[in-house]
Amino acid sequence: GEYNVFPRTLKWSKMNLTYRIVNYTPDLTHSEVEKAFRKAFKVWSDVTPLNFTRIHNGTADIMISFGTKEHGDFYPFDGPSGLLAHAFPPGPNYGGDAHFDDDETWTSSSKGYNLFLVAAHEFGHSLGLDHSKDPGALMFPIYTYTGKSHFMLPDDDVQGIQSLYGPGDEDPNSKHPKT
């Protein structure tokens, strides 16, 4: 595979992870944002033993927030387009957290930037995957909208995440597109 893991193989030492949506973008309804994140985590839990549970207060393993420009982590966003989001590899404190640039237009369609697709990519980082060199991979660093109604995690990403956490019990989509 063309996938890469972070140096020193950063990964979570537990399979049950929590996430919290700290704030919301005005571009979508709260339920659209929640659905996009839920679907994005399912991409990864479908092919691993990982489970993701949403919590509503306190500190989660993966804290998700929307911000603009300098937003508190010394990695400022850059206004519309350019940098869309970033996430930190597994670890304490900032580890696993995902930040989305609220100067982007977030959508649940092909217009603007599709929050589900960007979140699925960022959560790959939150789980320990770096960028892939495979242009067809979800973890490839350039955003591409895939118009398919049912997103299938490409084989390169499956190999990458399973190299860290192993396969899950029952993969609902056993055919992963080879790229």
In the set 2, 70, 122, 170, the catalytic residue is 122
Name the token pair of 127: 């789980």
* CATH number at 16-165: 3.40.390.10
Task: Give tens-digit pLDDT for 95-145.
Answer: 999 999 999 999 999 999 999 999 999 999 999 999 999 999 999 999 999
Q: What is the pLDDT of residue 7?
A: 65
Whether pLDDT at 9 is above 90: no
Which of 112-126, 147-161, 165-179 shows the highest mean pLDDT? 112-126
Q: How far apart are CA 170 and CA 123, in angstroms?
A: 21
**Domain coordinates of the chain in residue numbers?**
16-165
- 16 backbone dihedrals φ, ψ, rounded to 5°: -100, 110
Facing residues of 65 across strands?
99
Q: How far apart are CA 165 and CA 161, in angstroms?
A: 6
Q: Are strands 16-21 and 62-67 parallel, antiparallel or unpaired?
A: parallel
Q: Could you confirm whether 122 is annotated as catalytic?
A: yes
Please check if 130 is assigned to a binding site.
no
Please check if 134 is assigned to a binding site.
no
Q: How far apart are CA 1 and CA 159, in angstroms?
A: 7
**46, 171 contact by CB (below 8 A):** yes
Looking at per-residue pLDDT, the higher value among 20 and 151 belongs to 20
